[in-house]
Every structure is written in structure tokens, then in C-alpha cells.
């Protein structure tokens, strides 16, 4: 008795051959080694997810293939061969259509990959341009900073000079003011002397003529 085993993906699906309008057993393409290493499953054991895996080509050929269930399966296949062949043709057409569709998708995918590559190249170029512009801006900023500092220093010096000139000017004004005061004092003295001189002259009976040139 065989116990059901969970299908392993590597197991080979046994398919009978179609010859002269009927299905017959044909194990020529599955070796004993393939049975041993991968295992073989037969459709007649049911379509459920659990199928028996055969690991012995000899017992498969001489026991399973001679079982009533397998013989009935072959007979059914032969009776329905027309339908099976039609289905097979439909499936082949379907596969062909799918292949074409896959081809189109592949082509579109290729185009999109090219577009992405182009966009990436453009982005790299733009990034380079941005970097260049930033570098230029940075250089201009540096230039302006230097220029501003120079101008600031010059301005500071001019202000300093201006301040010194103001002080000098103030000193000069003070000197002039002092000189004016001195001048005024001298004038006052001269007036006093004139007056004394006049009085003195009159006392002595002279006509005194005072002239300041």
C-alpha cells in the first residue's frame, strides 16, 4: 500500500505518449536514476496536492502501470483524445499569445530602462551644472566679502582721518579765538594808550594826532 506524500517541486510528472489516436504508456524518457533522485508522479493518483511519489521505475512500470486505475486513466485519455488535443491546441495558442504579450512588456520594460538611464544621465548633468553654479556663487560671495572688507577698512580710515581733521580744525578754531582775544586785548590797550597820550598832549598844549595804520 502506498501512503500519500506531499508533492515536492522537483518530482517529474509522468505523461503517456499519444500514438495512432490513442494514449499508451511510454517510460523511455524517464530513467531509473530520475525515479530515484527526483521521483515521479502520475496523474491517475488524483489531482489533489498530495500525490504518491514513485522512486522505482521497475515497480512503476510493472505494478502501477498495470493497475486497474492507471489502465482506466489511459482508456479515458484515449476516449477523450479529441477533446484533449483541442484543449492542447487552445493552450498552445494561449501560450503563444502570452509569449507575445510578455515580449511586448519586455520591450516596454527595455524602453523604460533606457528612459531611466537617459533621465539619470540628465540628472547627473544637471547636478554638475548646479555644482558649477554653486561654485560660481561661492566665488562671487568670496570676492564681494573681500571687496566689502577692503571698503570697510577704507571707510574706517577715512572716518579716522575725518575725526583727526575735525580735531585739528577745532584746535585751529581755538587758536584763532585765542588770537582774536589777544587782538582785542591789544586793541583795548592801544585805545587806553591813545587816550592817555591824548590827555597828556592836551595837558601840555599840543595838538595830538593819532593815526593807526
| 32, 78 contact by CB (below 8 A) | no
In angstroms, the CA 5 to CA 49 distance is: 9
Sign of the torsion angle spanned by Cα atoms 94, 97, 103, 104: negative
CA neighbor of 41 nearest in space, from 5, 12, 15: 12
Q: Per CB under 5 A, which region of 28-36, 69-77, 159-167, 183-191 contacts Zn ion?
A: 69-77
Q: Per CB under 5 A, which region of 27-35, 70-78, 118-126, 179-187 contacts Zn ion?
A: 70-78
How many residues of this chain bind Zn ion (CB under 5 A)? Answer: 3
Over the window 1 to 40, marking each residue x when it contacts Zn ion by CB under 5 A and - when it does not, the resulting string is ----------------------------------------
Sign of the torsion angle spanned by Cα atoms 170, 171, 172, 176: positive
Closest separation in Å from C-beta 44 to Zn ion: 3
Our finding on whether 70 is near Zn ion (CB under 5 A) is yes
Closest separation in Å from C-beta 45 to Zn ion: 6
Over the window 156 to 185, marking each residue x when it contacts Zn ion by CB under 5 A and - when it does not, the resulting string is ------------------------------
Nearer to Zn ion, 11 or 42 (CB): 42
Task: Count the neighbouring beta carbons within 10 Å of the beta carbon of residue 74.
Answer: 16
- Estimate the crossing angle of helix 68-79 against helix 81-204, to 10 degrees: 80
Over the window 107 to 146, marking each residue x when it contacts Zn ion by CB under 5 A and - when it does not, the resulting string is ----------------------------------------
Task: Find the binding residues for Zn ion in span 34-63 (CB under 5 A).
Answer: 42, 44
Closest separation in Å from C-beta 59 to Zn ion: 12
CA neighbor of 21 nearest in space, from 75, 65, 100, 92: 75
Sign of the torsion angle spanned by Cα atoms 7, 9, 12, 18: positive
Nearer to Zn ion, 63 or 133 (CB): 63
In angstroms, the CA 166 to CA 176 distance is: 15
- State the residues that interact with Zn ion by CB under 5 A: 42, 44, 70
Amino acid at each position: 500500500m502506498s501512503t500519500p506524500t506531499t508533492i515536492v517541486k522537483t518530482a517529474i510528472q509522468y505523461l503517456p505518449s499519444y500514438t495512432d489516436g490513442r494514449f499508451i504508456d511510454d517510460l523511455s524518457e524517464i530513467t531509473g536514476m530520475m525515479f530515484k533522485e527526483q521521483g515521479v508522479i502520475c496523474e491517475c493518483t488524483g489531482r489533489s496536492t498530495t500525490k504518491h511519489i514513485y522512486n522505482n521505475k521497475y515497480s512503476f512500470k510493472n505494478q502501477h502501470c498495470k493497475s486497474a486505475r492507471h489502465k482506466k486513466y489511459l482508456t479515458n485519455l484515449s476516449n477523450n483524445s479529441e477533446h484533449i488535443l483541442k484543449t492542447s491546441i487552445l493552450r498552445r495558442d494561449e501560450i503563444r499569445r502570452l509569449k507575445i504579450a510578455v515580449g511586448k512588456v519586455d520591450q516596454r520594460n527595455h524602453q523604460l530602462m533606457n528612459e531611466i538611464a537617459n533621465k539619470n544621465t540628465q540628472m547627473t548633468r544637471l547636478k554638475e551644472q548646479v555644482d558649477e553654479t554653486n561654485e560660481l556663487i561661492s566665488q562671487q560671495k568670496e570676492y564681494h566679502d573681500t571687496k566689502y572688507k577692503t571698503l570697510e577698512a577704507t571707510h574706517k580710515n577715512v572716518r579716522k582721518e575725518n575725526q583727526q581733521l575735525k580735531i585739528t580744525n577745532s584746535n585751529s578754531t581755538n587758536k584763532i579765538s585765542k588770537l582774536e582775544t589777544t587782538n582785542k586785548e591789544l586793541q583795548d590797550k592801544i585805545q587806553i594808550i591813545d587816550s592817555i597820550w591824548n590827555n597828556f598832549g592836551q595837558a601840555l598844549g599840543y595838538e595830538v594826532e593819532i593815526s593807526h595804520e
